[in-house]
Structure 1
Amino acid sequence: MAEEVWMLQTKKADFKQIGARFRIDPVTARIIRNRGIEGEAAIDRYLNGTLDDLYDPMLLKDMERAVSILCEAVDTGKKIRIVGDYDIDGVCSTYILLQAFERLGSDVDFEIPDRIKDGYGINESIIEQAHADGVEVILTCDNGISAFHQVELAKKYGMTVVITDHHEVPLDGEKEKIPPADAVIDPKQADCPYPFPEICGAVVAYKLVQVLYARRGVPQMEWLDLLEFAAIATVGDVMKLQDENRILVKYGLKKMAQTKNIGLRRLAEKNNLDLGAITAYHIGFVIGPCLNAGGRLKTAKEALALLRAQSEEEAERLAEELKELNDTRKDMTEQGTEAAKLQVESWYQKDKVLVVFLPECHESLAGIIAGRLREYYQKPAIVLTRGEEAVKGSGRSIDEYHMFKKLTEVSDLLLKFGGHPLAAGLSLEEKNIDEFRRRLNENAGLTEEDFKAKVWIDVPMPVGYVTERLVRELSCLEPFGQGNEKPLFAEKSLRIRASRVLGRNRNVVKMTLEETDGHAIEALYFGDGTAFEEERAGRREIDVVYYPDINEYNGRKTLQAVIRRYKFRG
């Protein structure tokens, strides 16, 4: 388990003045500043932004060209094929575009690559099949920006190609290598004037539909009906909940509460979720994994079929199947994670970059297991599995280690690789695994300080400052997630007046904490209760990192602190 360092946010501003101007507590003002929000206009947009504050889709490069091509294809009855991807963003993008083109009366169908057979994105066999099927227009979503040769092949066959994507543009030297498509919409293009490039593929698709519907006179309400799917993809694809992403998710979650989608309703019911109280957390850790499970263990077409289900019976069957697939995926992930940890503890404890080979592990789980290792050890982790033709791997990194650049340094050992600073995918021959591990560790450039997990505290705040009004006010900062994390507060030297471990698995500690002035508050810690009690061993004082909450039970409301981190004193 990685050592932790508690760090205090130190961004400066006149928090009293901001609080008075926006009628919020100075503590809330400080949290907003900690999230990088500066200036009255930005603060106002953060607190009060609406769908009217979303950016103009026409700012996306090639939007006009794409809309003209697609409108002409609809008018002339050309056969359009949407090519998506197998993860939640790809599924939601495909759903949004399919619904839209069917609404416009198009001759449209879709294809989603198989994770194991096809790999990521559009490939030559998908192009060949489209040609054989008489497809005239290919429209990609959540992929295509790196499909240079595949687009060349489609053009050779005389097909029109429109790319919508959000991934980084590949470079040829220092120059961008854009596929020779008829239109390319991707906010990451260097000359794209769109003000916020950190949107997911489904939001790019959603923006395209906004313009198509406006051109065709489709009521705006029908475009807004697709908002929840752009929101689900934004959270599920772990985009930063900043700027317009936060607005999209905020209003998308509200739309979900009254969703007309039978499949979503059934999936929520299967997971005991109340759509009226849905949060970004539920999307990220419940709904999202279920929609992703199809693409991981079977086919992503099941998740798409669920979203497009027309009857209660079909929705019931598919929701049940996706939940079961996700439960299986969770069990497989737990087993794989334990096996990976055992390898690390046995052989690689001193390694700075963890490279673990799990031959029998399902390759779709390698990235999740790598993420678990990264989190547990606070080290870059790569999990390798045995594929059909070679060893395949997926890596997750820490801020101090640029994984893609480091893989570039050992590219002579790799058959294929790609990725970002914090995540990567790769393949290599099995005989090269040991050399791959050795060289990555030799050139890691990491120190022991880099392996300490940083816990960022927003405000050192006595629990006595917490009021019901402040807790209610903090909800205006939602939705919480990547880039807009739930606020964390801290206080030192609290006395533990009483504590007891609850739950069948002893995974909840309930305690009463007391400040030096005698003020007390109820507190909960969700974790290993037995380890908590053993660590405490008679010690009476504790430092805590917490989030304030209101416990409502039998009509009675009490303030409580939910403890996220703790350190005993003495």
Structure 2
Amino acid sequence: MAKWYVSAKRADFAAIGAKFGIDQVTARIIRNRGVIGDDAVNEFLNGKLSDIADPALLKDGQRLVDILAQKIADKVKIRIIGDYDIDGVMSTYILVKALKRAGACVDYMIPDRVKDGYGLNVHLIDKAYEDGIDTVVTCDNGIAAIEEIAHAKELGMTVLVTDHHAVPFEDIKGIKIYKESKADAVVNPHQIECSYPYKELCGAAVAWKIVILLYRKIGIDEKETMDFIENVAFATVGDVMPLTGENRILVKAGLKSIHHTTNIGMKALLECCNIEAENVDAYHFGFVLGPCVNATGRLDTAKRALELFLCDRQEEAMRIASELVALNDDRKEMTAKGVETAVEIYERDNYEKDRVLVIYLPDVHESIAGIIAGRIREKYNKPTFILTKSEDGVKGSGRSIEEYSMYEEMCKCSELFTKFGGHPMAAGLSLPQENVEPFRQKINEYASLTDDDLVPKIHIDVPMPVDYVSMRLVSEFSVLAPFGKDNPKPVFADKNLRVSRMWVVGKNNNVLRLSLISSYGTPINAIYFGDIESFFDYIRQRFGSDALEAAQRGRFNNIVLSVVYSPKINVFRENESLQFEIQYYK
């Protein structure tokens, strides 16, 4: 059973509420998100695009633009090389459109996930050289391509890097020695010498800032760069960047823009996903539209997604968009089967004792290993590696929990890998097939995870009686949006809620509705989207089968619950009412 924790951060919530015209509960949630001080609160609530830093602060930003402007003037061939995920597609789109607007002779290349792998490689450099390309511009990649860029320079090519990933380094006796690139300019806010104040930009945001500098230099109205703000927002959410500081401002602006989008491809994708443009929020970016774009890079080629956004004919856009949606449906089905197989192996092969899960699924497409790892991690709350068979051995992806630094632990058995990389929460690796079982054994031998580490932790914003919740308060929570990484939807907790009735609804019988009564006698409507059978089993064990049957019939029973909940405003036939979505119970 998960442990519940209440955020205990302190501040004068009454004073913050009075100053900014918000409820004390809203003020407390903002403090829970790490926002401290009047200026930071004001930016969180009211931040505008005019508040973000000048892109000229980016190290090498002006140098890159100076070189690029000269290349455009010289009419040399320029190639954009992006990445096969949503951030790479949006970055490439922004640069291709902007450079064409600036008069550049430009084309693009997005690597194939399986054939080419991530980012620049020697093959792509050689192909560019054969094609007579003078200048390569990277986006959402390039910072780690030290050898590949050196090769391009030996061929006499110009290389301009725009990226947002960590700068590679070697650890020599505890000292980080950062690797130096031979690129003609490198723009990445993570560089130590970079004075840009906000470091968590996605690749598309970095590309967009370069476009601002380029337009500024060659005399195109900077207002035209706002044409790309929806793409920046889409990539920021889709690449799971923190929705803090500048990213919040960019995503807010991008959502306003997409509500009136003029991009034919985006309109087509919205239509194929049955979403009205004016209703798009961060959820749709992250969980509906984004996966359709990412599915092309996983199962086909991300060039299809890029072609969608570059498309200028509605009929063609609808055709491509429908293909993207179908690919994502295939990806969902493949993922579900992969998860099911992984669970079978876990239960069959004595994985309960493993602190770190290493599960080999040879028949799973390598592009969805990371998604499956994430699902298994969520189910068992254990660091998880899913390995798949590839052309040259075994490839895999890992997803971790907060208590386990995945990359550091992998370094302890690095001799088993032919290639690996990552960070505390996720990793990728390649290894010979004969090393699969040794990897499982060693990574578990080194793991120092305790039983407590493996217990899921539920973080509660405020222990708040349901009686305190009002329509006005729930409406006010909209100032906390957009929600996503590092800014989750607020959750609350209450106890001693009596069940007066519960019943299953939905065409698939997968939704549980409950009538509850608070300790103050207030009746409330609640809903639960989780595992209903597990919920019923818990009620039987705790209160007895008779109590469960009585509750299902709307009769008196002895069931009393504590719940973690999220309040919402439910609209049914133009009537609004409060609804409490139960996240967890005990």
TM class by shorter chain equals over 0.9
Deviations 1:481-534 (A, max 9, x none): 000000001001101121111012221111111112211111111123343334
What do the CA deviations read for 1:83-129 (whole angstroms, capped 9, x no partner)?
00001110000000000001011000011110000100110011101
SS of 1:476's equivalent in the other structure is: helix
* Whole-Å separation in 2 of the counterparts to 1:177 and 1:351: 36
Matched residues in 2 for 1:405 and 1:245: separation? 28
The match for 1:211 is 213
Map of 2:523 onto structure 1: 520
Quick one: which of 145, 149, 152 aligns to 1:151?
149
Alpha-carbon offset, residue 566 of structure 1: 1.2
CA distance in 2, matches of 1:371, 1:27: 32
The runs of at least 4 consecutive aligned structure 1 residues that moved more than 3 Å come to none
Q: Is the 8 A contact 1:506 1:530 kept in 2?
A: no
Partner of 1:88: 86
SS at match of 1:350: coil
SS of alignment partner, residue 338 of structure 2: helix
1:128 alignment partner, one of 120, 126, 142: 126
**Does structure 1 conserve the Cα–Cα contact (< 8 Å) formed by 2:119 and 2:141?**
yes
Alpha carbons 1:494, 1:513 under 8 Å: kept: yes
- Select the residue among 360, 364, 368 that pairs with 2:367: 364
What is the CA distance between 1:373 and its match in structure 2?
0.9
Aligned to 2:4: 6
Tell me how far apart the structure 2 counterparts of residues 286 and 388 of structure 1 sit (CA, whole Å). 31
Change (3 A) 1:377 1:534: closer
Structure 1 residue 563: deviation in Å?
1.1
SS of residue in 2 equivalent to 1:449: coil
Q: What are the Cα deviations for residues 140-198 of structure 1, in whole angstroms up to 9, with x where unaligned?
A: 00000011111111101111110000001111332110211000001111111111111
Instruction: Give TM-score scaled by structure 1 length.
Output: 0.98
Match of 1:396 in 2: 399
- Distance in 2, matches of 1:13 and 1:380, equals 35
Distance 2:386 2:536 in 1: 34
- Partner residue of 1:419? 422
User: Aligned partners of 1:534, 1:442: CA distance in 2, in Å?
Assistant: 35
Report 1:174-185 matches (<5 A).
174-185=176-187
Give the Å deviation of 1:59. 1.1
Contact 2:467 2:520 (8 Å CA) reproduced:
no
Structure 2 residue 567 is the aligned partner of structure 1 residue 548: yes
Query: Structure 2 residue aligned with 1:284, among 283, 286, 298?
Result: 286
Correspondence for 1:536: 539
Is 1:497 aligned to 2:497, yes or no? no
Q: State the AA in 1 paired with 2:10.
A: K
For 1:49, the aligned partner's letter is G
TM-score of the two chains, using structure 2 as the length reference: 0.95
Checking the alignment, whether the CA contact within 8 Å between 2:7 and 2:462 is kept in structure 1 is: yes
| 2:266 aligned residue | 264
Q: Which residue number corresponds to residue 35 of structure 1?
A: 33
Provide the C-alpha distance between the structure 2 equivalents of 1:329 and 1:49, rounded to a whole number of angstroms: 37
> In the TM superposition, what is the alpha-carbon distance from 1:452 to its structure 2 partner?
1.0
Q: Per-residue deviation at 1:217?
A: 2.2
Give the letter for the 1:30 counterpart.
R
Which residue pairs with 1:21 in the alignment? Answer: 19
1:315 maps to which residue?
A: 317
Gaps of 5+ in 1: none
Among candidates 260, 272, 275, match of residue 273 of structure 1:
275
Distance 1:196 1:454 in 2: 29
2:579 — aligned with what? 560
> Residue 527 of structure 2 aligns to which amino acid in structure 1?
L
Q: Distance in 2 between matches of 1:114 and 1:220?
A: 34
Residues 1:475 and 2:494 are matched in the alignment: no
Does the CA-based 8 Å contact 1:506-1:529 persist in structure 2? no
How far does the alpha carbon of each residue in 1:267-307 deviate from its partner, in whole angstroms, 9 at most, with x for none? 11111112211111111111000000100000000000011
Counterpart of 2:381, as a letter, is Q
* Whole-Å separation in 1 of the counterparts to 2:532 and 2:455: 24
- Which consecutive residues of structure 2, in runs of 5 or more, have no partner in the other structure? 541-546, 548-557
Select which of 238, 246, 249 maps to 1:247: 249
Residue 296 of structure 1 aligns with which residue?
298
The answer to whether the aligner puts 1:62 opposite 2:60 as a matched pair is: yes
Q: 2:358 corresponds to which letter in structure 1?
A: V
Could you tell me the percent identity over the aligned residues? 52
Q: In the alignment, residue 258 of structure 2 is paired with which amino acid?
A: M
* Matched residue count: 565
Moved more, 211-220 or 26-35: 211-220
- Matched to 1:527, the amino acid is G
What letter is aligned with 1:163? V
Q: Which residue of 2 aligns with 1:52?
A: 50
Alpha-carbon distance between aligned partners in 2 of 1:353 and 1:27, rounded to the nearest angstrom = 38
* Residues 1:455 and 2:474 are matched in the alignment: no
